[in-house]
């Protein structure tokens, strides 16, 4: 699933490690998320959206 | 001490204690029986006992090993990281299939070599794996 995670992260001037720390996930998870190799659980997706102060649909792009 | 470390300490101590029991049983058998009838069992008890003692000690030591709070927090995060959990589960699935195939191949080898008892044991082990899978599947179906 495509997402804007990297764009949002860079917009806040955060490193992958800092974002991983803030979300309490491993850095490898952030890397996989940004590359679109891993789809997060709904809980993690909510936490990411809440962290950036936006909605899930603004972070993750659902391709039909 | 957090819950995970406490579990490690308990598990390690239990393993080491059971190892000591096996070693004691080995020593008893070696002292008691002279005709060599229980040599196989004694040998197995010796290996198992010392293995459990060493493994149990190492497990308990892991629980007592002091790490920095940052490293502790990182370990905690990595343990509960959803992607890591999924990766572990996927790897375990592959391992289970591989174990099943290895047992099947071993059964074939044992039968070809004429070791029918060993072949029956490996077939029994395969049935145990199937039973475990069916029970686990049923349980997961109810829980999830």
Mutate to test the interface with B, among A23, A29, A35 (most CBs of B within 10 A): A29
Alpha helices in B33-81 (DSSP H): 39-64, 69-80
Average pLDDT of B17-25? 89
Contact B84 A29 (CB under 8 A): yes
Q: Residue B96 in contact with residue B80, Cβ under 8 Å?
A: no
Task: Inform me whether the pLDDT recorded for A37 exceeds 70.
Answer: yes
- If one compares B1 and B12, the residue with the highest pLDDT of the two is B12
Task: Inform me whether the pLDDT recorded for B32 exceeds 70.
Answer: no
pLDDT in tens, B115-133: 999 999 999 999 999 999 9
Percent of chain B topping pLDDT 70: 95
Of B77, B78, B83, the CB nearest to A38: B83
pTM greater than the 0.80 cutoff:
no
Look up residue B16 and give its two tokens: 């080491």
Q: How many CA atoms lie within 13 A of B80 on its CB side?
A: 11
Cβ-Cβ pairs closer than 8 A, A with B, add up to: 24
Stretch 72-91 of chain B: residues touching chain A, C-beta under 8 Å: 77-78, 80-84
| Predicted local confidence at residue B119, as pLDDT | 93
Q: Residue B39 in contact with residue B30, Cβ under 8 Å?
A: no
| Predicted local confidence at residue B35, as pLDDT | 61
| Predicted local confidence at residue A22, as pLDDT | 93
Q: Which pLDDT band holds residue A42 (cuts at 50, 70, 90)?
A: very high
Rg (CA), chain B: 21
Using CA atoms, how far apart are residues A8 and A23, in angstroms rounded to an integer?
Answer: 14
- If one compares B71 and B124, the residue with the highest pLDDT of the two is B124
């Amino acid at each position: 699933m495509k997402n804007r995670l990297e764009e949002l992260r860079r917009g806040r001037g955060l490193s992958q490690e800092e974002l991983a720390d803030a979300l309490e996930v491993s850095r490898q998870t952030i890397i996989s998320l940004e590359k679109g190799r891993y789809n997060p659980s709904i809980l993690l997706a909510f936490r990411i959206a809440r962290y950036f102060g936006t909605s899930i649909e603004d972070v993750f792009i659902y391709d039909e | 001490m957090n819950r995970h470390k406490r579990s490690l300490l308990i598990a390690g101590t239990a393993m080491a204690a059971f190892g000591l029991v096996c070693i004691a049983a080995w020593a008893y058998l070696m002292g008691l029986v002279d005709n060599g009838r229980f040599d196989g069992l004694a040998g197995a008890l010796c290996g198992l006992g010392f293995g459990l003692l060493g493994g149990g000690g190492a497990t308990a030591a892991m629980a007592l090993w002091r790490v920095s709070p940052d490293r502790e927090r990182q370990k905690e995060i990595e343990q509960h990281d959803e992607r890591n959990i999924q990766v572990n589960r996927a790897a375990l699935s592959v391992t289970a299939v591989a174990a099943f195939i290895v047992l099947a191949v071993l059964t074939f080898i044992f039968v070809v070599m004429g070791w029918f008892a060993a072949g029956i044991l490996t077939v029994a082990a395969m049935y145990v794996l199937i039973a475990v899978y069916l029970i686990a599947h049923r349980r997961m179906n109810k829980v999830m």
